[in-house]
């Protein structure tokens, strides 16, 4: 039986493909206050602004491509049972070939009903006022906004709890509730933290290894190491 690896990914891995990480040092998202474009209240106040904001993000997707880190994670599937828990709303993991993903913050390429959050449909074009679900309700981006529940968090926690190895890439682990996922890792499970400016120390968790590099610099070598280990044991 293959060992289980759960990978937690954040904005850093997508940034290396050219996707903006939204929030700058001033806390603004592309010049907007975060609560104007990523909250239910912001959508209620100015739905057109919010739809336009995510339309711009969606239009960017065909212009960017999976990088070496995304592709390295796909290679892991040959030797491990891999689950990727991502905070990213792009489709770069899927385009790199990864097959088992949990998008805890939603997906740009989906829309959902404003009336029933379980009515979720694929959506690749611009989303505008007047685009309705089958029941006649306005559609909104399938994005988890600030102040909203994170429906897939329990599924992500179980994946982390069941992992034999945990890899954390390109996330500060400061945004909750996603940041709490590391606490579900079983005691003694190897945890690899890949980030050029890590804000944790190896004393914070048992069996934590810090790789102070970007995803593209640090992940392929780790994947090679893990696959070689799996080959020797098979």
Q: Which of 70, 93, 103, 105 is catalytic?
A: 105
Task: Enter the tokens of residue 14.
Answer: 């997508």
Distance from C-alpha of 30 to C-alpha of 182, rounded to nearest angstrom = 29
What predicted TM-score, i.e. pTM, was given to this entire model?
0.93
Give the pLDDT confidence score for residue 21 in this predicted structure: 65
Per-residue pLDDT of the chain (234 residues; tens, 9 = 90+): 899 999 999 988 998 998 876 655 555 566 788 889 999 999 999 999 999 999 999 999 999 999 999 999 999 999 999 999 999 999 999 999 999 999 999 999 999 999 999 999 999 999 999 999 999 999 999 999 999 999 999 999 999 999 999 999 988 766 666 678 988 999 999 999 999 887 777 777 778 999 999 999 999 999 999 999 998 887
CA-based torsion, 80, 151, 183, 217: positive or negative: positive
User: Is 142 a known active-site residue?
Assistant: no
């Amino acid at each position: 039986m293959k060992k289980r690896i759960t990978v937690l990914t954040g904005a850093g891995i997508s940034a290396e493909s050219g996707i903006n990480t939204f929030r700058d040092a001033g806390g603004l998202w592309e010049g907007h206050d975060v609560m104007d474009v990523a909250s239910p209240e912001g959508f209620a106040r100015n739905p057109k602004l919010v739809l336009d904001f995510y339309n711009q993000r969606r239009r960017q997707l065909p212009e960017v491509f999976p990088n070496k880190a995304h592709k390295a994670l796909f290679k892991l599937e040959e030797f491990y049972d891999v689950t990727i828990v991502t905070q990213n709303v792009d489709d770069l993991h899927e385009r790199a070939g990864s097959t088992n993903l949990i998008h805890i913050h939603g997906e740009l390429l989906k829309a959902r009903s404003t009336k029933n959050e379980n009515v979720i449909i694929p959506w690749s074009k611009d989303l505008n006022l007047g685009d309705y679900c089958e029941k006649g309700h306005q559609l909104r981006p399938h994005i988890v906004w600030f102040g909203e529940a994170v429906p897939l968090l329990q599924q992500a926690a179980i994946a982390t709890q069941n992992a034999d190895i945990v890899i954390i890439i390109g996330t500060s682990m400061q945004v909750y509730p996603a940041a709490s996922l590391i606490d579900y890792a079983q005691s003694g499970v190897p945890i690899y933290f890949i980030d050029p400016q890590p804000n944790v120390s190896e004393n914070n968790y048992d069996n934590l290894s810090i790789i102070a590099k970007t995803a593209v610099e640090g992940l392929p070598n780790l994947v090679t190491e893990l696959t070689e280990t799996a080959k020797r044991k098979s």
